[in-house]
Amino acid sequence: MAKRNWSMQDAKSRFNELVEAARRSPQTVTKHGKPAVVVVDLAEYQRLQQLERATAPSFADVLLAMPQDDGDFSRDAVRIRDVEQ
C-alpha cells in the first residue's frame, strides 16, 4: 500500500518517490502536521479540470435552444367550464 501522507521534509527529500506514489493515488503533503497540498496524477488532474468546466445549461439556454419554426399549433376543441360569479 502506498504511503498517503508525507511531511514537507519527507516530500522534499523523497520527491521522486512522492511523484511515483501520486501516479497510483493522491498523496497528501502536510506542513506543521496539517494537510497543506495534495499531489495527484496528471490524468486525474485533467479529469477534475474537465468536471469543473462541465456545467449544466441555464434555463435561459434551454429556452433559447428550443426550435423556432413559427409553426402552428392545433388546439383541442374543449368546452369552456362554467364559473359561478
Within a 10 A sphere around the Cβ of 36, how many other Cβ atoms? 14
The predicted pLDDT at position 17 comes to: 96
Residue 70 in this model has a pLDDT that exceeds 80: no
pLDDT at 3 over 80: no
Domains of the chain, first to last: 5-54 (3.40.1620.10)
Query: Averaging pLDDT over each range in 5-14, 50-59, 70-79, which range is the top one?
Result: 5-14
Phi, psi of 69 (to 5 degrees): -95, 5
DSSP 39-80: E--HHHHHHHHHHHH--PPPHHHHHHTS------------PP
Q: Whole-model pTM?
A: 0.60
Using pLDDT thresholds of 50, 70 and 90, give the confidence band for residue 68: confident
Query: Quick one: pLDDT band at residue 15, thresholds 50, 70, 90?
Result: very high
- Per the CB < 8 A criterion, the answer to whether 28 and 35 are in contact is yes
